[in-house]
Amino acid sequence: MSSARRTTPDRRTALITGASAGIGKTFASHLAAQGYDLLLVARRAERLDELSAQLHGDHGIRCDVFAGDLSDPATPAGIMERAEELGLGIDVLINNAGMSLSTKFAETPWEEVGGQLQLMLTSLTELSHRVTPGMKERGWGRIVNLSSITALLPPAEGLLYTAIKSYVLLMSQSLDMELKPHGIHVTALCPGFTRSEFHDAMGAETRKTADRLPGVLWQEPEDVVREGWNAVMKGDAVCVTGKVNKLATAAARPIPPGVQYFLGRTLNPFK
């Protein structure tokens, strides 16, 4: 679904994955309120259509949708082909789509493990790669990749989630170093526990465990999105959201993320 008004040269378009709920949906509302046109991606077409109609009605922005599963290797190319058909240049990319399997690595069928890797690692990287040339040509771009505070804390049992989020953190910093001279900011957004459907999707036991956690550990998606968007607009390569999360990650790592980023950028012997 899309509005009748076409995108004009002075308007910018944001591509948001995992846009039907949680942080992705909140990013869509946040950017629509600022006048960004949107291309929303998720598996649930009905939810996307409802959200598209709501955001167009509330803010008068153009809002197109693409119903697809990013665990399918063909989906990233399909999204970009659709954007080209619609005449959309992607100025903002929010790589939010994600999942976490609740079973142990050795007990999980490879098809499920491979799907998680495709969704959260390969598709995220491919979409970042595909939008970058247009951003460089226009001299402006913003990319937010959803990592997690787990990437900054000691490793724990949890299948591949922490390893994937660590990749997203490091990849985002490296990409920001490369692209910032071209007017493109890349931010690894690292929230902690955020109130959304994420834990429900992992099963009843995970939901019960999450419900027992103290309220001080939780953030609302609106707070996460506001902090993340402010960070990417300022050019911060890493954004840990919430005071409690900042304290936890600072205690876990002797060298703060900002200093690690500076050292990695300035002391790289391979440049």
Q: How far apart are CA 207 and CA 212, in angstroms?
A: 9
136 is an active site residue: no
CB 7 within 8 A of CB 88: yes
CB 99 within 8 A of CB 70: no
Amino acid (one-letter) located at 207: R
Q: How far is CA 130 from the centre of its chain?
A: 15
165 is an active site residue: yes
Q: How far apart are the first and last CA of the chain?
A: 45
Residue in this structure with the two tokens 């707070």, named with its chain if needed: 223
**Residues 36, 104, 136, 165: which is the catalytic one?**
165
Strands 13-17 and 90-95: parallel
Q: How far is CA 23 from CA 14, 17, 131, 147, 225, in A?
A: 14, 10, 21, 12, 7
CA-closest candidate to residue 165, choices 108, 116, 226, 235: 116
**Residues 25, 36, 161, 167: which is the catalytic one?**
161
CA-closest candidate to residue 91, choices 9, 147, 24: 9
DSSP 220-232: -HHHHHHHHHHHH
Just list the catalytic residues.
161, 165
